[in-house]
Amino acid sequence: MTMKKLLAALLLCVSTSTALAQDEERARELFGEGVEALQNEEWERARTLFEEAYELAPRASVLTNLATAQAQSGQLVEALASYETLLDDPPDRRTRRRLRTIVRELRPRIPTLTVRVIGGRPRDELLIDGDVVAADDPVTVNPGWRQVEVQREGEVVAAARVRVDEGAQEEAELEVRVPTPAEVAAAQPIERIEAPDPIDVAVREPEEEEGGSKTWLWVTLAVVGAAAVGATVAIVALSGGGEDRFVGNVAPGTADVR
């Protein structure tokens, strides 16, 4: 029984060390290709290769090259994070000094983007390049075109691409889209306005005083006029007339079909 356990443990050790050796070998290959890509100034390719290598072998030498490739390919935010990780455990004083200089020069190059959302709701989520961020606060981003979105219950309700230059403190406004026709219909239901009930109007006979007769006439005019207006509104509401032409968010918003 003890022998079997020993054998199992030995097999586990052998298989684990074999896997580690394979990872090490693959990481070495990727590192070599990455260095070659750096020398050829293929920054994106170098970054991908070093990222893969670092996953297999998270060593400072790989991270140093990854940080270089990140910085050169415009991923300044990621590059700063990599350099800061290296600074956490620097090999020697000289390297620390060099890393500090790099970080000091890199920080002001990283732009910020502040997005103000107009017409948003409290539970809406603001995303920059897929990451949820706080509205109205400066967010460090990489320079270039950034995809900004407002999501409501997982649905994108506003989106824009914002150009952010290196070192800039960009501000952008994102307006939540015009409500959908369904929302408009839900928000403004067509109310059926009933005509007022007929009102009995006592009409005085002509023998009454002239002034009294005029008063009754105006009362009658007002009541019947109100009834007519009410009936008009009711008829319009019931017939669906008076609808506005819908103007969409695609220019020119509407078109005649002949």
* Site of interaction with other proteins (CB under 8 A): 145, 147, 156-163, 176-178, 180-182, 184-185, 217, 220-221, 224-225, 227-229, 231-233, 235-236, 239-251, 253-258
Which of 184, 188, 124 is CA-nearest to residue 159? Answer: 124
In angstroms, what is the minimal distance from the CB of 70 to other proteins?
21
Choice between 84 and 183, CB closer to other proteins: 183
In terms of CB distance, is 89 or 256 closer to other proteins? Answer: 256
Q: In this complex, which beta carbon is closest to other proteins, that of residue 61 or of residue 254?
A: 254
Residue 127 contacts by C-beta under 8 Å, 6 or more apart in sequence?
133, 147, 148, 149, 150, 151
Helices (H), 163-208: 181-187
Query: Least distance (Å) from other proteins to the CB of residue 2?
Result: 57
Q: Are 46 and 37 in contact (CB under 8 A)?
A: yes
**Least gap, CB of 99 to other proteins (angstroms):** 35
Structure tokens at 209: 């005083």
Structural contact between residues 166 and 109, judged by C-beta atoms closer than 8 angstroms: yes
Tell me the closest approach of the beta carbon of residue 240 to other proteins, in angstroms: 5
122 vs 189, beta carbon nearer other proteins: 189
Distances (CA, A) of 189 to 186, 192, 240: 6, 9, 12
